[in-house]
Amino acid sequence: MSLFSAGDPVRVRDDWPETGGAVHIRTPHYVRGMPGEIRAYLGRFPNPEDLAFARPARDLALYHVAFPRQAIWPEGQGDDEILIEIYETWLERA
Amino acid sequence: MSAPDDLLRVSAERLLVAIRDILAEKSIVSPAEIADRIAITEAASPAQGGRIVARAWVDPLFRQRLLGDGTRAVEELGVVMRGAPPLGVVENDGSVHHLVVCTLCSCYPRAVLGYPPFWFKSASYRARAVRDPRGLLAEWGTIVPAGVKLRIVDSTADYRWMVLPRRPEGTDGWDEERLASIVTAGDMIGVTIPKIA
């Protein structure tokens, strides 16, 4: 089961678990708190944040999410975009 | 001296043998399985990727399967994907050019392209691919026209991504082998486009 579908507007949680101790995070810093759009559901994969510490890892929905590049860095051309794999636990409805 | 310092002084060869013996003794992985995996890893190279691209250029149905499920499609060509992360393939066309990067580390579609080029892991490539991609591409001599969208694929999680480049003009009637010979690793990462020599 997946919460989001292609075309849904989402926002990456503005969360910084790094500040609380040792973690393994696959969500790049530069998209924390940024709005994006779901492009595709990619399947379910065990949570790497647990796998990295050999903890039991539950399967999470993984999405391809597109971000307008210029909203993150103002230089460069207008409609270029960055496509990133992001786990459902990092996304909220925008 | 702490234990990790001791480890750094042991020769890599001795460490490898010790680990291989322990894995065999505990029946986790047999020496034959390790040799098998080494052979699979070394068989992968940009030439293999070139073969996949050439097939997609000449066979529209294969191209469709490749874009739909990269892993299954390349297995048709004899590429061993067992134990490898799923392969995603993104296609360049007249309106979009793809560039693959792993800003977090160095994720690379090794099962199809082999070892990554040294620069793929460099901090400057990883930073500039997302921040100044057109400037970065210009240094490779790759000019993405103003009307073409640049889509940077930041490979952050479970997939590995490869670019299916556009077939260059002037290659009509070429057979697959000749087509494959002009495709480079850079073309399948998206820093360059295939050129006729």
Single out the residue of B83, B68, B82, B75 nearest to residue B48, CA to CA: B75
At residue B133, the pLDDT reads 95
Residue in B151, B152, B157 closest to A45 by CB = B157
Average model confidence (pLDDT) across chain B = 94
Instruction: Please identify which residue in the block is written with the tokens 């050439």.
Output: B54
Give A36's Cβ-side CA count (13 Å radius).
Answer: 30
Share of chain A above pLDDT 90, in %: 91
Residue in B151, B154, B159 closest to A42 by CB = B159
Measure in Å the smallest separation between the Cα of B174 and chain A Cα atoms.
33
At residue A1, the pLDDT reads 72
Quick check: A25 pLDDT over 90?
A: yes
Single out the residue of A41, A35, A38 nearest to residue A8, CA to CA: A38
User: Which domains does chain B show, CATH number per domain?
Assistant: 3-41 (no CATH), 45-189 (3.90.330.10)
Single out the residue of B114, B93, B115, B110 nearest to residue B190, CA to CA: B93
As a CATH number, domain A9-93 is 2.30.30.50
Residues ≥6 apart with Cβ < 8 Å to B131: A73, A75
Instruction: Please identify which residue in the block is written with the tokens 């295939």.
Output: B194
d(CA A32, CA A85): 13
| Residue spans per domain, chain A | 9-93
ipTM value of the model?
0.96
Is A69 an 8 Å CB contact of chain B?
A: yes
DSSP 3-state of B1: coil
Average model confidence (pLDDT) across chain A = 95
Quick check: B9 pLDDT over 90?
A: no
At residue B4, the pLDDT reads 65
Q: Which of B107, B158, B159, B162 to mutate to test the interface with A (most CBs of A within 10 A)?
A: B158
Residue B61 token pair: 């149905």
